[in-house]
Every structure is written in structure tokens, then in C-alpha cells.
Amino acid sequence: MVVKSFCPSPQVYADGHLNPASQFVCRDSGSCVASRLVCDSLADCDDRSDESDVMCGRCEQGRFTCRDGSCVAAAGRRCDGRLDCIDGSDEEGQYCDASQRNSSLFYCCNSLRVIPVEQTCDGVVDCYEDASDES
């Protein structure tokens, strides 16, 4: 375990990752470990806070990891036409194959917009980005 008695504030990059040269503060004791040791699958903090699922971008079972690393409930909420992830990744094609999509909804081709299937081919463009609901 690499521990120091004083922790300088950790440096966080714009993408949310810790600067590997900075220190991570353990939740239970306030002790420090080098940020390069965080999320390396080896617990350096007694409480394992340096390896927590949320800290390391892994969500607990039954939750979905959004592209931005946040966690949302997965059961019945992915590919349901509602944005649960702030970044909308729970509704993106790479996570939603045709069998997961709600058949009463139409998924616009070039956006995260989802509309009721009744609004397709009705002469009104609801998929503003590409008019895919009218083609």
C-alpha cells in the first residue's frame, strides 16, 4: 500500500480522469494513494474506495454504464425512448439492437429523438434532423 499522511488536492482532467501524478484520497481514512494505482484491480485503500465500481466507471449489476461513466437503472429503461443518461447513450444504436427497441416507438435515424410510431408517415416531419419519419 502506498500511503502518505498529507494529500494534495487531486488533479482531474477535463474528461474526468485523474492525473496519474496526483493523489487519490481514500474515503474511510483520508489516507492517500497515487492516482496511478486507482482502478488497477488492486485495493490500496482499506475500504476499497480506490476500486469502487462508480469510481472506475463500472456500474453494479442491473445498472447501465453511460458513455460518460455515470450509472442508470437498466431494467426496462434502455432503448425505451427516454434519455436516462445525460449523454443519451442509453438510447444509441450501439447499445440498442432492434429486439430491444419498443415497437410502439420510432427511432429517428440521425438523432436521439424518439416519437410514437403513429407519427410516422403522417405528412409532418418530427425527425427534424433527417425527416426519417416521413421516408
Q: Are 50 and 37 in contact (CB under 8 A)?
A: yes
**What are phi and psi for residue 50, nearest 5 degrees?**
-75, -5
Percent helix / strand / coil, the chain, rounded to 5: 15, 15, 70
CA 41/CA 43 separation, integer angstroms: 7
Q: What is the pLDDT of residue 107?
A: 74
Q: What is the pTM of this model?
A: 0.41
Q: What is the DSSP letter of 82?
A: S
pLDDT digits (tens, 9 = 90+) for 42-99: 888 888 888 877 677 678 778 888 877 778 887 667 777 778 888 778 877 655 665 5
pLDDT band at 123 (very low <50, low <70, confident <90, very high): very high
Q: Give the CA count within 13 Å in the CB-facing half-sphere of 33.
A: 22
